[in-house]
Amino acid sequence: MFVLLFLCVLLISTPIQAADSYADLVEDLMPSVVNISTERKVIENVDNMDNVMINPQLEGREALGSGFFIRNDGYILTNHHVIKGAKKITVVTNDNQIFDAKIIGIDEPSDLAVLKIESNKKEDKNQTLFKAVVFGDANNVRIGDKVLTFGNPYGLGVSVSSGIISAKSRNIGLGEQEYLQTDASINKGNSGGPMFNLDGEVIGVNAAIFTVQGASGIGFSLPSNIANWVSDQIIKSGKVKRGWLGLTVSNGIDQYTGKSGFVVTSIDEESSAYKEGLRVGDIITAYNKKPANDLSDFTKLTETMEPGQVLRLTTTSYGEEFQNIVAIQEMPASELTNVTNKALIESRKYYHQSDDTDVFYISELKIAVKEANPRGLTIVKIDSNSPLQGKGISIGDVILEADRSDIYSADNLLDSIRYAAFNDYRPLSLLIQGVDNTFYSTIEMAKEND
């Protein structure tokens, strides 16, 4: 009886390590993640700590974002927007080594950039200079899979968040590219960091966050397949060569046969497709023996094919079926510019600046606002068709909170709007400071930008 009681007490008092701990995996992956910063010339507002490097060794530098080693000889992948405009780039590893970095190449359509650092240490045969990641296949990711998002903000070292894949193939307004969506918190400064599966493979690059004053409940990562393809081309040739068919297509149905596919809506007369006989109005019913029912998949395939490769198409024209072999060409500079410009235009669709540089128009709410002091946004205009009409809200009132998150800038409000929009345009809760009182108001957002 005494022995049994002793064993029970022992089992209760002995700490049991959680079976789902990520500690071993995180420890193995941390050396691959880096901080990216630049030297600051002037700190205009010392109260604004968003981008200040907190590590004393890095005083005088401004945090730009994160990145990770993709080769053990010092090649690093990050977002293009992280290093855009930086004159001198500094990379800080997880063990606080500091290196100057040079840009190997950028790719604006995917918002990726490859950097390179050089180590003073000689590479040992049994030990590599830097720990490179292993790319996984994002196509195999399933909604509900557990993931870890990594970053190295502010020069403090690696930060890690866990979560799940909450959606795939999300279009977030950055051109045609689709993203993985996760509920793992992605904080400011973590753009360009990796997202790992539980096998320790990179399945995404942290690209965008919807955040209000710091942490986020929703983040987006560029799939690893695109990141791996882009970075490999940049390292090999300094740029990305995209495949080009010379035609544009949309979903359609052949009126003669009833078959569905991609209808050719325009075609370049200098393209291989035109010379092969394709014309506007033809229907692509299959490509490489695969049914033509996923336009996004077709676009991604053609853009990632190398110039010179061939694509086998099954097409119909006036009800007659043809087999076409079309050579992939390199996307002309003019077309690549169009891709980039479209991505930039789409990414700004929520944010309209008025003639007054201090006033911003929020199209979803159909209001114009300017920053208030010490916080909030003062409403300077309310359109007649604004969802704020009839809510007791007037010009001069101040928006203090959106969905219980403090508002300091137009970007903060837009983040909350976007978060609500991705949840089927659910109503937005605003805390309004009026002349006589402060109150909450529930707003139904406009779905279209007029």
Which residues are tagged catalytic? 81, 111, 191
Task: Name the strand (E) or helix (H) holding 401.
Answer: strand 398-402
Contacts of 118 (CB under 8 A, 6+ apart): 74, 99
C-alpha 97/C-alpha 88 separation (Å) is 17
**Sole residue written with tokens 């497709």:** 273
40: number of Cβ within 10 Å? 15
Which of 83, 73, 72, 78 shows the shortest CA–CA distance to 34? 78
- Buried b or exposed e, range 68-83, using 16+ CB within 10 angstroms: bbbbeebbbbbbbbbb
Q: What are the backbone angles phi and psi of residue 448, rounded to the nearest 5°?
A: -115, 145
Which of 316, 306, 251 shows the shortest CA–CA distance to 278? 316
C-alpha 118/C-alpha 188 separation (Å) is 27
CA dihedral sign of residues 304, 307, 308, 313: positive
Question: In this structure, which amino acid lies at residue 392?
Answer: G
C-alpha 136/C-alpha 239 separation (Å) is 23
In angstroms, the first-to-last Cα distance of the chain is: 80
Question: In this structure, which amino acid lies at residue 355?
Answer: D
235: number of Cβ within 10 Å? 16
C-alpha 54/C-alpha 43 separation (Å) is 14
Contacts of 82 (CB under 8 A, 6+ apart): 36, 64, 65, 66, 67, 113, 191, 192
